Amino acid sequence: MSFCQKCKLVPGTILLRLRDLYCNDCFLTNVSHKFRACIGKNRILTQNENVLICLNGGLGSTILLNLVLNGLALNNHKKLLITPVFFHLIGTEENKSFTKLLIEQCMNQNYDINLCHISEYMIKIKSKPKLNHIPERNEEAHVEMKKKLSDMSSSTRNDYLAKIKRELFICYAKELQCNSIFTAETSTTLAIKLISNLSLGRGSQVQHDIGFCDNRNEVKILRPIKDITLEEIQHYITISQLTPLNVRHAQEYSLQSVAKLFVNDLQQNFQSTISTICKTAEKIGIQNENKHKIKCLICESGINKNQCKLTALEATNYSKIVSMAQQESTSGIGSPIEQQFSMFPHVNKYLCYACSKNYSEMKSTVPLNI
């Protein structure tokens, strides 16, 4: 019998990454240490500040809820010093019984949860979130939202939904007087997100989309369980006997699903795939970040136009112009004619490349506030 490699006293029960053996206690300590260390070493939170904690009932979210509650229940110097405000965004396809289970999950721990519909995005003056009850749905907005989403390709839809959620989280964080937001992305999710974001043309935004802190808005989005892998989460859930809700996504083929297959396939045989991807992502950043004056209206990323000599965006546009047989135009890249025939509406003026690409796929107009 082999012993736990940490305490070397008790027989190990959990095998991680096919080689590291832990006992239950050491494993749980290790996971909660990762969570605490992630918050602690970044020194972003101030004492007892309100933090919006976004839950969706899935694996990551269940763990986040558990770790936060455990942290708050401590009575020593390790106590987590935040005031949690739980929040859930109800998706367009979510059924009521699911939402009720999520409310129960929170109520069982004696905490309240704020709820809102994702279709509020379509409305300018958003209704206030409701406590522990499913708020009434604005049918018009709901239908409009569904229509808009169904018009897009699945890859675009996933990307666009992520941006909508981000904006709504920030909006409701302000409403509920929170300066920070916790989201429950694991290192596995983030590795997949990195690969898909790169392929969608969001390379310059990696630092904010994958890193610990997204500070594009004054409300910061933090990812406190970003060092915990899906494998660890599954063990944690079994040991602590938690009941995650089944978040089922329709089987759809998209860039994101292909990226997921790719990462998970590699991870099976090469156990350091995810950590390599995430460590690489951590090292990617933007230079001269403060110089950005223009921000994308949808994702709030800085738009940095004249950084490279020739970008893929210009190449695509140029190719489009040539294909349209505008031979008489001898004007070069960046000229008015390019703006006019650009495949990407509002690019570099109001929108970043990827958001503009999404925008070009929408048939109905969006509240862009231009």
Which residues are within 8 A (CB) of 356 and not within 5 positions of it... i.e. 6 or more apart?
344, 345, 346, 347
Q: Name the minimum Å distance from CB 253 to other proteins.
A: 5
Q: Name the minimum Å distance from CB 247 to other proteins.
A: 22
**Interface stretch with other proteins, choices 118-126, 203-211, 255-263, 334-342 (CB under 8 A):** 255-263
Task: Quote the tokens at residue 7.
Answer: 């305490």
**254/329 with CB nearer other proteins:** 254
**3/253 with CB nearer other proteins:** 253
**Interface stretch with other proteins, choices 11-19, 61-69, 248-256, 294-302 (CB under 8 A):** 248-256
Pure H helices in the chain = 24-42, 59-73, 96-107, 139-151, 154-175, 187-199, 206-210, 230-240, 255-269, 273-283, 312-323, 336-341, 353-361
Measure the CA angle with vertex 229, ends 227 and 233; round to 5°. Answer: 115
Residue 60: other Cβ atoms inside 10 A: 24
Q: Name the minimum Å distance from CB 361 to other proteins.
A: 14
Q: Name the minimum Å distance from CB 258 to other proteins.
A: 5
What is the C-alpha R_g of the chain? 22
CA gap 61, 77 in Å, rounded: 25
**Interface stretch with other proteins, choices 38-46, 224-232, 250-258, 268-276 (CB under 8 A):** 250-258
Residue 62: other Cβ atoms inside 10 A: 24
**134/343 with CB nearer other proteins:** 343
Query: Residue 35 to residues 41, 76, 298: CA-CA distances in angstroms?
Result: 10, 17, 30
**122/255 with CB nearer other proteins:** 255
Q: Name the minimum Å distance from CB 142 to other proteins.
A: 28
Q: Name the minimum Å distance from CB 269 to other proteins.
A: 16
Q: Name the minimum Å distance from CB 250 to other proteins.
A: 13
Are 89 and 165 spatial neighbours (Cβ–Cβ below 8 Å)? yes
CA gap 26, 222 in Å, rounded: 26
CA gap 140, 69 in Å, rounded: 38
**Interface stretch with other proteins, choices 8-16, 76-84, 253-261, 271-279 (CB under 8 A):** 253-261
**In this structure, which amino acid lies at residue 11?**
P
198 binds other proteins (CB under 8 A): no
**28/258 with CB nearer other proteins:** 258
State which of residues 17, 112, 253, 312 lies at the interface with other proteins (CB under 8 A).
Answer: 253
CA neighbor of 362 nearest in space, from 121, 191, 29? 121
Packed helices 154-175 and 255-269: angle between N→C axes, nearest 10 degrees: 90
Q: Name the minimum Å distance from CB 259 to other proteins.
A: 10
Q: Give the three-class secondary structure for 335.
A: coil
State which of residues 105, 155, 188, 196 lies at the interface with other proteins (CB under 8 A).
Answer: 155
Q: Give the three-class secondary structure for 266.
A: helix
State which of residues 213, 247, 258, 362 lies at the interface with other proteins (CB under 8 A).
Answer: 258
**Interface stretch with other proteins, choices 12-20, 188-196, 215-223, 251-259 (CB under 8 A):** 251-259
State which of residues 5, 92, 240, 254 lies at the interface with other proteins (CB under 8 A).
Answer: 254
State which of residues 255, 296, 297, 298 lies at the interface with other proteins (CB under 8 A).
Answer: 255
**269/306 with CB nearer other proteins:** 269
Which residues make up the interface to other proteins (CB under 8 A)? 155, 253-255, 258, 261
